[in-house]
Structure 1
Amino acid sequence: IDDEHRAEEIYRDIIRLAPDHLPSLNNLAYLTHKKAEIKSARQLYEKILEIDPGHVSADFMRAALSGETRTHSPDSYIEEVFDEFAGHYEQSLTAKLGYDLPSSLYDFYAQHLPDHKPEHVLDLGCGTGLVGEKFSTLCRSMTGVDISGNMLEAAHHKNLYNSLHKAEIIDYLDKCPGASYGLVISADVLPYLGSLEELFKKVLSVLADGGHFLFSVEDHPDDVLNPVLQQSGRFAHSKKYVRKVTGQAGWQMIAMTTLDLRKERNDWIQGSIYLMCPHPVS
């Protein structure tokens, strides 16, 4: 239903007739959360959990709205969100929210490594292929990985990737042949991961000699040394945390810049792009 106000009325009517109707409760929780009616949304997620204590998405969003500490997003939650979002993902992000991160990543990479043409590129969390549209001309082959089958279906139709894989990205990296990618890209993905220690170690293991890791995060303004779950359901990462975990994993920063990632309720979300390479072995 395109008219969200009308949809909300319908869900409330259904709930009045059937108070335990989970789909209506969940959809109404989403709509109230989207309008920043935090207390109402949290109460709806709590109601869902009373009916279904194992409802993973409701538990995660209740935690986000309650200021609880979490270290990661549940895989099933991420898959559900992006499977539902896939049909209007690009229209919503680019036309409505001012999203142009793939272009910013490409320009940043070209600025700092103008002569580097990686043979094989790995797009972690490739979604519908927006990064592939920018980077596919730079390399001989591109591999895309995403947890959402619906997003991968959209990417498949663009014919940009030599192979596409439905997998959680850490699981993929665990099974990936080593030392094969000249560039690994992760655009607007880390905010859905939470803790980044394992990711940075795993990416290092699949990088070819002379390879690089290009990624973005949503910024946290304070010097916190852990991921912070925001009310949006995404994680923010401070610059101090990113420097800490990348340094511990064996990465060296080439460059970093801050930028506006996209709009949320008419305000810009602040983020950062990082370009890294393995730290030289002494």
Structure 2
Amino acid sequence: MPARLFMSSGDLMADRRFDFARDFQLKGDLVAAADLLRQAIELAPDFASAWFTLGEIREQLGEREEAIAAFRQARDADAEDRHGAGLRLMLLGAEKLSNMPPGYVRSLFDQYAPKFEKALVDDLGYRGPALLFKAVLAVRAAARKPALFRHAIDLGCGTGLAARAFASEVGRFTGIDLSPRMLEQARASGHYARLEQSEMLQGLRDQPEVSADLILAADAMVYVNDLVPLMREAARVLAPGGLLAFTTETHDGQGIILGEGLRYAHSAACVREAIGAAGLTLARLEYLSARNEDNTPVPGLVVVAAKA
């Protein structure tokens, strides 16, 4: 996983108290850590990292209301919410589910980029691109069409793992990712004709109509709350007969939930409804896990939708 985000307060003494607090937190002395964080915040009232860490500690101590207050202060102190305090508020049930802050996603993956592939493939057994490739081949075979695509768009392209899996079947790849450091890795892969730094929905909005015949989103929909706007843009961008193929995490209930890992899980019914609302046709939906967590497969879906 990426290194823990730290944003300096600009006050040397406040930063040093934060460092001491983190040492106590890691040693399990949460009360002492909280006290040091309060001291740091007194010196630097807009110290977002201190507020966020204090929220974590309050939550660990079972002090829910105090945790909520601290996370709100952390979010207010950083307009981009790079720590993801808003997500912690959603997880605590203090706020309704909404889209992830782009600043949080960008910061997360900028930190993750240098060891992304090793952590994902070696440590988490990531298999999303291979599962998508098999699903797309199966859909094309069922339709008696070749699995060859002139232009594919890779949403949340990361380092290029999905493009690598589909390289022999795609003439030209456009990659879209919010993280500049991930895009550096993708550029080095040599798989992309074009790379764009953008949030996925906006990235699709920037594409011409009927300009792609395959859109991929491998392990990217877990960062999207409401799938419908993204599906509608995908339908606009796809050429007739084009495919949208993606993985997502799922759960046994209804609708959308935010898991402890700060990733959205979509029920199968939710996915079907979003595809229908976008005017696409569900071609394939399989209950398959794209990755592990604690050596256990995470419940997931592999989905292919087609444009008529």
Scaled by the length of structure 2, what TM-score is found? 0.78
Q: CA deviation at 1:171?
A: 1.1
CA distance in structure 2 between the aligned counterparts of 1:66 and 1:135, rounded to whole angstroms: 40
Q: Are the aligned partners of 1:11 and 1:27 in contact in 2 as well (CA < 8 Å)?
A: no
Q: What pairs with 1:20-99 in structure 2 (closer than 5 Å)?
A: 20=41, 22-23=48-49, 26=52, 39=62, 46-50=69-73, 53-55=76-78, 56=81, 57-66=84-93, 68-99=95-126
Higher relative contact order (CA 8 A, sep 6+): 1
Q: Are the aligned partners of 2:149 and 2:213 in contact in 1 as well (CA < 8 Å)?
A: yes
Instruction: Report the counterpart of residue 132 of structure 2 in structure 1.
Output: 105
CA distance in structure 2 between the aligned counterparts of 1:268 and 1:67, rounded to whole angstroms: 29
Q: Are the aligned partners of 2:180 and 2:197 in contact in 1 as well (CA < 8 Å)?
A: yes
Q: What pairs with 1:1-282 in structure 2 (closer than 5 Å)?
A: 8-9=22-23, 16=36, 18-20=39-41, 22-23=48-49, 26=52, 39=62, 46-50=69-73, 53-55=76-78, 56=81, 57-66=84-93, 68-114=95-141, 115-222=146-253, 224=254, 226-278=255-307, 280=308
Query: Residues 51 and 76 of structure 1: is their aligned pair in 2 closer, same or farther, counting only changes over 3 Å?
Result: closer
Mind listing any 5+ residue stretches in structure 1 that lack a counterpart? none
For 1:239, the aligned partner's letter is A
Query: Residues 26 and 95 of structure 1: is their aligned pair in 2 closer, same or farther, counting only changes over 3 Å?
Result: farther
CA distance in structure 2 between the aligned counterparts of 1:230 and 1:134, rounded to whole angstroms: 28
CA distance in structure 2 between the aligned counterparts of 1:3 and 1:238, rounded to whole angstroms: 31
Let me know the Cα RMSD of the aligned residues: 3.1
Q: Are the aligned partners of 1:11 and 1:24 in contact in 2 as well (CA < 8 Å)?
A: no
Moved more, 200-209 or 53-62: 53-62
Query: Residues 235 and 135 of structure 1: is their aligned pair in 2 closer, same or farther, counting only changes over 3 Å?
Result: same
Q: Secondary structure at the match of 2:164?
A: helix
Deviations 1:20-44 (A, max 9, x none): 25435646877x89xx959589966
CA distance in structure 2 between the aligned counterparts of 1:193 and 1:62, rounded to whole angstroms: 17
The share of aligned pairs that are identical, in percent, is 26
CA distance in structure 2 between the aligned counterparts of 1:183 and 1:38, rounded to whole angstroms: 48
CA distance in structure 2 between the aligned counterparts of 1:37 and 1:192, rounded to whole angstroms: 25
Q: Are the aligned partners of 2:22 and 2:33 in contact in 1 as well (CA < 8 Å)?
A: no
CA distance in structure 2 between the aligned counterparts of 1:2 and 1:237, rounded to whole angstroms: 25
Q: Secondary structure at the match of 2:248?
A: strand
Q: Are the aligned partners of 1:256 and 1:274 in contact in 2 as well (CA < 8 Å)?
A: yes
Deviations 1:176-211 (A, max 9, x none): 111111111011111101001111110011111221
For 2:176, the aligned partner's letter is V
For 1:170, the aligned partner's letter is L
Query: Residues 167 and 109 of structure 1: is their aligned pair in 2 closer, same or farther, counting only changes over 3 Å?
Result: same
Query: Residues 151 and 11 of structure 1: is their aligned pair in 2 closer, same or farther, counting only changes over 3 Å?
Result: farther
CA distance in structure 2 between the aligned counterparts of 1:44 and 1:264, rounded to whole angstroms: 26
Q: CA deviation at 1:58?
A: 1.2
Q: Are the aligned partners of 1:25 and 1:44 in contact in 2 as well (CA < 8 Å)?
A: no
Q: Are the aligned partners of 1:120 and 1:142 in contact in 2 as well (CA < 8 Å)?
A: yes
Q: CA deviation at 1:230?
A: 2.2
Q: CA deviation at 1:48?
A: 4.7
Query: Residues 67 and 239 of structure 1: is their aligned pair in 2 closer, same or farther, counting only changes over 3 Å?
Result: farther
